[in-house]
Amino acid sequence: MRNCFSKSRSRPTRKLDHGSFKINAARHCNTGTLTTAGYGTALGIVRLLHAQGSLDRVYFTETRPYNQGARLTAYELLTEEIPAQLVCDSAVSALLRSDPMIRAIVVGADRVAANGDTANKIGTYQLAITARYHGCQFIVAAPTTSVDLYTKLGADIVIEERDEAEILVQTGFERQGVLEGRLERVEVQVAPVGTRAWNPSFDVTPAELISAIVTERGIVVKQSDASEFDMNRGGSERMAQKYERNQDASIYVGNLDDRVTDELLWELMVQAGPVVGVHLPKDRVTQSTQGYGFVEFQTEADAQYAVQVMNMVKLFGKPMRINMSAQDRRTQDIGAKLFIGNLDPTIDDKLLYDTFGTFGPMVQMPHCARDQVSGNARGFAFVSYASFEAADAAIQAMDGQYLANKQINVQYAFKKDAKGERHGSAAER
């Protein structure tokens, strides 16, 4: 972590007998064990400096309007017995002017774009501005899962606007009750009733104002004379390798409406598990989306869960067709393809998926054949499984059964290039 503070300012430092020095630091919001995991991100740097004996004191902001600093960071610093002082969000500039030993402001990140632009808790941007004016290092600490290589610029990050009441009303514990050992939560109306408020949850700090980005895989710095980071190259090569290793944790999302954006798909898929990145391919000329995309999750288990719970969910009235993208490459040619005949016209792809998906994972969504001109159902469909065992189980259980009051027949489909020969042969297996 010493590399983060290598550019010293022309300010006095407190000398120690053994020739080293201690620094002061400032931080914003909460990025410790309570909100991240394990050692923490930005607060993890503070903990490490304290453990190494390199930290004299840390200042931390209250982090309005929800006071994560005053409520959460304060608790963690007290618990770890790290020398610390709470300051108002609006006092940081005055603090930097009054304390020349503050060498760095360390913050976390909710998302880091490919150029290093960083979205974080509201108030981060103004801290970066005052850090630059006072010659102070501004360090972003975040896990690689917060680095979104598919988002090119910070301007592409959609900022959530939250309820006005978070600004207009303060919550906390009644003071006398705390002193007496009782926790009684109360709400206090701060502003007059009828006051309007603007309450963005995050802001975006331009990469130009950031000194370094610290991840669990290393420290990313800018190239000489560059104003932005290149998160795809240089110090982030290990992150690129991570993306290559996690291709098995990616899903394919098809049948998307052209109104679907990367941000919308991200917000939807994060309900199923931690999302690493979202990519919607665009036409090079028109820049319009192509009706499909890819979502990468932190683990393959998360991706498989997303396929189970999100497949055929409607977005702008269109059911998404989702399957494991890496699984397609591994299993598309195994031949476990079934023909489903004598289907009622009301049967659709989703009903087939719900019915036949119980026998095993599918390579792709079931496909009900339709007339290309009229769009009317043709009474048959195809289902492709990832294994012959799943296909055999489906035939055994469903052949001759009734679906929508019609007896269906289920068997292996004919091969395209072999007249009269069906899939499922001993040779294919």
Active site residues: 110
Query: Dmax of the chain from CA atoms?
Result: 89
CA distance 375 to 411: 25
Ramachandran region, residue 420 (left: φ > 0; alpha: ψ -120 to 50; beta: rest): left
Closest CA to 139 of 5, 14, 23, 285: 5
CA distance 233 to 408: 55
